[in-house]
Amino acid sequence: MRLQFVHYEGHTFMHSKLFLPFKSSLLTILAVSAAFVVSSKPAFAQAPHSLDAAEQQKVDTLVKQMTLQQKLDYIGGTGFGVRAVSSLGIPALDMSDGPYGTRSNSGFPSTTYGAGINMAASWNPELAARVGAGIGRDARARGVHFMLGPGVNIYRSPRNGRNFEYFGEDPFLAGQIAVGYITGMQEQGVSATVKHYLGNNSEFLRHDSDSEIDERTLREIYMPAFEVAVKQGHVSSVMDSYNLINGQHATQNGYFNIDILRKEWGFKGVLMSDWDATYDAIGAANGGLDIEEPGGKFMNNANLGPAIRAGKVSEATIDEKVRRILETAASYGWLNRDQHDASISFVDTKNKEVALDAAREGAVLLKNAGNLLPLDKSAIKTILIVGPDAYPGVPVGGGSAGVVPFHMVSALEGISNEVGAATTVLYDRGFRRCRIWRPLRSLRLKPRTVRPG
């Protein structure tokens, strides 16, 4: 079944072949819309390519035609995207959160996949490529250019609130899963964004914490997944993290952003900030950041205009930022085509199959004492399910990785349906939330007051 959304006299209708009780002119409009969708050719899922001479000339011309104010506006985000420059025919570019589904920032549902650690537990880069491709298709159906994932930060502490998004503590495994994910997604004409570069291993005090990491540890543990994402996955976008690394915030850390990412690894794409992870206009501009999200709070005309006139930032530096964004757009064909692909259903049956395969492959049986599993349904009379996440279902860990699924089946419902009416299924929530910890959420420390401990 194909679902399409049809606009008629200010209203939006969901149309499918199963929706029949419409009459007269509205029915005609829906029928014409359906016929158009069926007969239209699928949009080209353009993977990124090296620019030819004509494409490069077009980008260079656009940079020259932009005024300084237009350039400075361009490197400040629009909430979730890159602004249009209508006078020059430059389209807006949309971004979406949700490394394990396409949230598209509207709350509209999307196929929701198992989180990063589930994918890593499959040890299957080809499966990761299928997941990346599925998310890419959903992104094309919604007109999204940049997907903000995958996250590849290495597990430093089990208490990190975003560990579920990442691929575990093994740098090689994390890198290979990321390469599969990135390749599958970008083949759909959607840029992946590898994040959070670098050493973002704690959500607590994430704006103020300083990850002090020696060079060997960086090279062997914390950077390899990012390195292969660039060198093997050819990722088109990288996101800087909130934290400091060795005394300097990621978004203004020229050693990591320029010396390593650009010069050593050869990254040619877009380097964006995490949301509100920019702290200094001149530092970020000279430190390699291309675009500040969600907006130009620091990298704007008011701050950088005087800095350019004073010689603290060169206009050539700003030109390079604009050029990298436009080159990335040109490499996908975004400057010449609509990113929305109307040939892809909002509910993609291919993606449902991939999500199920990913969930199955991510399940790891560590021990099966006495060959207890699989359970014999004919012999089991009573099952007790314990745990707060057994009901209702918890599809994702939340935060910026939160995705709204079209539907979900909780563990309680799934097991009950599987064993049938002959088996009694009991449930207890078990652990209750500790309200005593809530006041600690407001705790904040200034960097200068932090002491090793």
Catalytically active residues are 274
Token readout for 126 is: 């080809």
**Would you give the end-to-end CA distance of the chain in angstroms?**
58
Question: If we measure between CA atoms, which residue out of 278, 308, 326 comes closest to residue 66?
Answer: 326
| CA torsion through residues 180, 183, 187, 189, sign | positive
Cis geometry, peptide bond prior to residue 196 (ω within 30 degrees of 0): yes
What whole-number distance in Å separates Cα of residue 323 and Cα of residue 59?
7
Strand order in the sheet with 270-273: 193-197, 237-240, 270-273
3-state class percentages of the chain: helix first, strand second, coil last, to nearest 5: 40, 10, 45
Instruction: Note whether 389 and 411 are within 8 A (CB).
Output: yes
Cα angle: 353, vertex 397, 129; to 5 degrees: 35
Instruction: Note whether 113 and 136 are within 8 A (CB).
Output: no
Contacts of 85 (CB under 8 A, 6+ apart): 62, 66, 70, 74
Instruction: Note whether 141 and 341 are within 8 A (CB).
Output: yes
As to burial, measured by CB atoms within 10 angstroms (0-12 exposed, 13-18 middle, 19+ buried), residue 192 is buried
As to burial, measured by CB atoms within 10 angstroms (0-12 exposed, 13-18 middle, 19+ buried), residue 246 is middle
CA atoms within 13 A on the CB side of 360: 7
What whole-number distance in Å separates Cα of residue 55 and Cα of residue 38?
32
Amino acid at 231: K
